[in-house]
Structure 1
Amino acid sequence: MSTAHTNPAPHTQTNVGTSASAPARAAATAGSRDIRLDFFRGIAMFIILIAHIPFNRLSNYIPARYGWSDAAEIFVFCSGMASALAFGKVFVTRGWGMGLARVAYRCWQVYWAHVCLFLAVAATKAAIDLSGVWQAYGSFDKNFVDSMGITRFFDQTQEALIGLLTLTYVPNYFDILPMYLVILGMIPLVMAAARVHPWLAMGGCVAVWAVAQTGALDLPAEPWGDRPWFFNPFGWQLVFFTGFAFMRGWLPKPPVTTGLIALAAVFLIASVPFGRWQIWTQVPWIESWRDANTILFAKTEEGILRYLHFLAMAYLAWAAAGPGGARLMTGGHGALARLWDGARGVILKVGQQSLAVFIFSMWAAQMLGFALDFTAERGWGPTLAVNLAGMAMVVGVAYLAAWFKSAPWRGR
């Protein structure tokens, strides 16, 4: 979803080893929901909304503008952690077959979420164009279907519709959920390898990522051209299964030391001139270096610099959150403590309902961009108002989704 898809701070469990028959060890890896997982995934959902509002001035100040990685890594990493809890436990306690069924059920949900998201956005864009409201009140000429790059869907509907349902037509902006689908489909294979040894599973993930860097595993994104998927799942699966491995206990939790904190911080600071376009476009040698080494930070294949940048950011978040996320909690009783408690509760709720929030935000971002199109040069006043309205809607959707999931009609 962007994508279509939390906590960069891994909460590791006891290693399940190579056996799937020890209930005690299985229970240890199952764990309960980690506050850090939901907190950081909630933060990522707000950033993703801001990043997807077209020509949003506020998006120039999100973390992605100051380094290699962005909120997509947070989303995918935390999805890996959540999947380790939701699906990995089933493989260990109920067997490989039931684990496969559990993953297949989730793939079914994500698949239709992707299809419906595309149709909802495409229909909304078409309705805006057909209504004539833009022609009557807009300040410049604009075709909203064309602005999304989905004109072919309407011009060659039969071919595009088949491509949409077979995932051979994956327009830009609608590429995160298909990527997530393929990665979910890899879970049974990774869990089977982990029965031999967890390092076999992780070694396989690294090998697939390495091959993806060559472009050999690119997937076609349209029937009429050679454009590949913008998010190559075989590259991005390394981020997902890194989070998965931390939560399953295949990777040890990193020690919190002054040296590692300093190293991570220096790496992040050193990355700023290479990620901030206002800097690298004005420094010829940095621009030349970027042009010659795009494979190192390519988003499509999840280049090594993006991966390392995210790990450094995740490590600092892990250290800052404290053991078990203790520093995210408050023990005070003042106004600031109460304000933080309320904000934290909202962020956690958004993180817990990430799929529903993500799907809604991808649609809402386009509508918020449409609203900004009516403002004069997208000034800061309207920009902040639209972004705050979008965040409020995201929060509302999170609480509504949680209410429906609670099945209140079953109670008194």
Structure 2
Amino acid sequence: MTTSGPSLGGPGLGGPRVRDPRLDFFRGVAMLIIFIAHVPNNPWNEYIPARFGWSDATEMFVFCSGFAAAIAFGGTFAKAGFGYGTTRIGYRVWQIYVAHVAMFFFIAALVTAGSMALEGDYIEQLNLGWFLANPAEGLVGLFTLTYVPNYFDILPMYIGALVLIPVIVALSRIHPWAGITFSAALYAANSLYGWGLPAEPFSDREWFFNPLAWQLLFFTGFGLSMGWIAAPAISRPLLWLAGGFVVLSLPVAHWGTAQHFEVLRDLRESIWFWQEKTDFGLLRYAHFLALAYLAVALVKGREHRLLEAWARPIVTVGRNSLPIFLLSMGLARVGGMVLDELGRSVATLALVHLAGIAILIGFAYWCTLLKRQPWRKREAEHAARRAAERERAAARYQQAGVAPAE
């Protein structure tokens, strides 16, 4: 998020890119917070960042996803051409779409089993009763993304942002700022006209995360990573401005404080539109940018610390964000069921959360192992041994003056 440090040059600028540890670290932090935030009836939710400011882990996830998308796909557009870049985006959209559908069925089966085996009505907790009662309409809605229950809404929003990448890249070839200008104009038009996508066929509810609005944050990260826009340099006035904005927003954003003061309650109500989540109110955008600026300033010159042993588990989680997200959404429901059975004491809350985080970290390391394809090394070693054995056998036959057997 700043032009200093490794890896922040645009993908098409030439030269190898060093992976920026800040990206993976903060994406890993977001993944762990998202897990905690989705455990039902969870007292720990009162202490996640979302309770103390207008932005939360969702903003971290979307911004980092945009930044990572530029790293993953920007080079293809620049080096292989627009057609191949668009093809890669299409393939990624297909992967996310399949992941969304698979996650829905997995969690639907999970909560159905939980409702059958335990006392809680976990189906209604996720408002899935209509789907099970109307499977024909539900399946059509699920596969056409016109049925998007609240718990399953972030991946469709991500798909919406990915679909816009070829448009933004094409415009950026006219001028580096043209794509970002289009993104801002689309956000403004959505705010003005209230565009939205239907979330269910039996009501007027829209997608909880409107991609026409959230794409602004996605392409802020994308544009920074591509080098189309540059983050402001670290300076004392901007640090004071960002820090002051974050501190002054806290008593209004924190309901535990605001509920005790009428003036704060009235202020919250008057600015609700500007911090509303579905259409990504501008206060959320400003709050995230201020926090990001402070985080970059804090880490500046210390990026190497994020590669040390204490940070490695979080970085590993960040490098496997999609599978970790999919697992965490199911794991959060299991955690809620366990807490319903054991009770929500200090000990059981700590047990469920720490066990869940440990499972996510372990799964991240397992995903990393699979990415490295360690069996390839074993296969190569086996092939080398067989070749060496054949060479030794051929040498023995040659010494004996006998032709080797076929």
Match in the other structure for 1:79: 65
Match of 2:360 among 372, 378, 394: 394
Counterpart amino acid of residue 121 in structure 1:
I
Specify whether residues 143 and 9 from structure 1 end up closer, same or farther in structure 2 by C-alpha distance, changes over 3 A only.
Answer: farther
Tell me if structure 2 keeps the 8 A contact 1:42–1:347.
yes
Q: Decide whether the 8 Å contact of 2:252 with 2:267 is kept in 1.
A: no
Q: State the SS of the aligned residue for 2:279.
A: coil
Question: One-letter code of the match for 2:109?
Answer: A
Counterpart AA for 2:226: R
Matches within 5 A, 1:111-260: 111-131=97-117, 134-135=118-119, 142-214=120-192, 216-260=194-238
Moved more, 206-215 or 158-167: 206-215
Give the match for residue 109 of structure 1: 95
Residue 383 of structure 1 aligns with which residue? 349
Q: How many Å separate the matches in 1 of 2:9 and 2:130? A: 51
Pairwise mapping of residues 206-355 of structure 1 onto structure 2 (< 5 A)? 206-214=184-192, 216-323=194-301, 325-328=303-306, 341-355=308-322
Partner of 1:26: 13
Alpha-carbon distance between aligned partners in 2 of 1:144 and 1:15, rounded to the nearest angstrom: 46
| Paired letter, 1:168 | T
Alignment partners' CA distance in 2, 1:373 and 1:354: 28
1:323 Cα shift?
4.1
Helix, strand or coil for the counterpart of 1:196?
coil
Q: Is residue 411 of structure 1 aligned with residue 377 of structure 2?
A: yes
Deviation per CA, 1:204-234: give whole Å up to 9, x if none: 0001111222353200000111100000001
Partner of 1:333: none
Could you tell me whether the CA contact under 8 Å between 1:47 and 1:62 is conserved in 2?
yes
Same amino acid, percent of matched pairs: 43
Deviations 1:352-383 (A, max 9, x none): 0000101100110010011111133x111111
d(CA) in 1 for partners of 2:10, 2:316 = 29
1:371 aligns with 2:346: no
Structure 1 residues 13 and 37: CA distance shift in structure 2, 3 A: closer
Structure 1 residue runs of 5 or longer lacking an equivalent are 1-7, 17-24, 136-141, 330-340
Q: Secondary structure at the match of 1:295?
A: helix
Alpha-carbon spacing, 1:104–1:62, altered in 2? closer, same or farther (3 Å): same
Runs of at least 5 residues in structure 2 that lack an aligned partner in the other structure: 379-406
Q: Which one scores higher on RCO, CA 8 angstroms, separation ≥ 6?
A: 1
3-state SS, counterpart of residue 170 of structure 1: coil
Give the Å deviation of 1:178.
0.3
Q: 2:81 aligns with which of 95, 104, 110?
A: 95
Following superposition, the deviation at residue 87 of structure 1 comes to 0.6
Paired residues of 2:63 and 2:220 also in contact (CA < 8 A): yes
Per-residue deviation, 1:411: 1.9
**Separation in 2 of the partners of 1:48 and 1:100?**
30
CA shift for structure 1 position 55: 1.3
- In structure 2, the CA distance between the partners of 1:249 and 1:163, relative to structure 1 (3 Å rule), is same
Q: Which moved more, 1:319-328 or 1:276-285?
A: 319-328
Conserved? CA contact 1:9–1:314, under 8 Å:
no
- CA drift of 1:327 comes to 4.9
Q: What is the alpha-carbon distance in structure 1 between the residues aligned to residue 102 and residue 9 of structure 2? A: 39
- Residues 345 and 13 (structure 1), Cα distance of their counterparts in 2 relative to 1, 3 Å cut: closer
Task: Quote the residue 1:20 is aligned against.
Answer: none
Kindly provide the amino acid, as one letter, of the partner of residue 152 in structure 2: F
Distance 2:347 2:189 in 1: 47
Question: Cα RMSD between the aligned structures?
Answer: 1.6
TM-score of the two chains, using structure 1 as the length reference: 0.88
Which is further off, 105-114 or 398-407?
Answer: 398-407
TM value normalised by structure 2: 0.89
Higher mean C-alpha deviation, range 319-328 or range 43-52: 319-328
Against the structure 1 CA distance between its residues 368 and 222, is the aligned structure 2 distance closer, same or farther, given a 3 Å change threshold? same
